[in-house]
Amino acid sequence: MNMYNNLPHLTDITDPLLTQALQHKLNNKTKPLGSLGRLEDLAIQLGQILGTQSPVINQPQMVVFAADHGLAARGVSAFPSDVTWQMVENFLAGGAAISVLARQHNLALTVVDCGVKHDFLQGLPAGATRPGLQVRKSAWGTGDSSRGPAMTQTECAQAVAQGQTLVRELPGNALLLGEMGIGNTSAASLLLAKLTGLDIARCTGAGTGLDAQAVQRKTAVLREVLVQHARVRAPLDVLAAMGGLEIATMVGAVLQAALERRVVVVDGFIATSAVLVAHALQPLVLQCCVFAHRSGERGHEFMLQHLGVQALLDMGLRLGEGSGAALAWPLLQSACAILRDMASFASAGVSEKTPEAKALA
């Protein structure tokens, strides 16, 4: 029995006529050809995703996926696992970086408990909820992947399905990915090494702030994990083995968002690891993904290279939480506004390039 038989099947959204119309519209704006650089490429991508020459992004959803990792007990992080649930509380209280940025940019913020080892509803009446929090646990954290699979196949399948259901229930046409989970840079590094064939030493960085010696110890632990799961090959089996309930939930969310032709704004290293898995399953998922920034975490550049994509920003960020996605958000708004609102040469009564210059072009 295939536990993943409800995964979306993506089709090519490329519309050559729409692409031509979008390019023609941009070329006739009151500016030299191509002078807005990559903003024009972004505008065309957004028009393609949303299927229109005048794209409008409505009700953008910033979703932070949170979970704990059993591998953290091996000392792969500079912080204890309790920081995961403490930061979730910080998100809900509005004090975290992503809370500030979401407020600044009017992004609806939802925190999803995908597998945190903490009961956020403890002491509340049965059936009670907390504003901004969704509890969708598939397990109370993952197992130690150096000693066995981080997740059972059932737990992994449930997490992926939870991500699909979550997106189906969210409004709007844009999903911004964030995450929180002590130990999740290790899971992302493992996914990168296993899915691309890169040596784990090239995939492993400082995470939450390890020094050089600690990074070496972390790398040695991750090498143990790879040996433990050397025979695992299929993308979802790799995901289950290497862990990340929040990453698995993001995989389902990304696939569902792409199926619904929502714009998916991908944050940094951890969020991109979820796209890496989704891409291994459905390569066309990239058509709906906008990569917000190139992380300061060393493996992220290799992920971007493997996927053949370029990020919008490069600011040395390595916080996670969706902070880079929120910072890139105004660029998406600007790209849409240029397509919709900027005047053409004809409508503004501005002279175009001279016939002689056109002939030489």
Give 145's contacts (C-beta < 8 A, 6+ positions apart).
Answer: 70, 71, 187, 190, 225, 228, 229, 241, 242, 243
What is the C-alpha to C-alpha distance for residues 53 and 101, in angstroms, rounded to an integer? Answer: 29
- Longest CA–CA separation in the chain, Å: 77
* 8 Å CB contact between 161 and 146: no
Tokens (6 digits) for 230:
């050397």
What is the C-alpha to C-alpha distance for residues 292 and 295, in angstroms, rounded to an integer? Answer: 9
Active site residues: 321
Q: What are the helix (H) ranges across the chain?
A: 16-27, 38-50, 82-93, 97-104, 153-169, 184-196, 200-203, 212-228, 235-242, 245-259, 269-281, 300-307, 323-341, 345-348, 355-360
What is the C-alpha to C-alpha distance for residues 260 and 174, in angstroms, rounded to an integer? Answer: 10
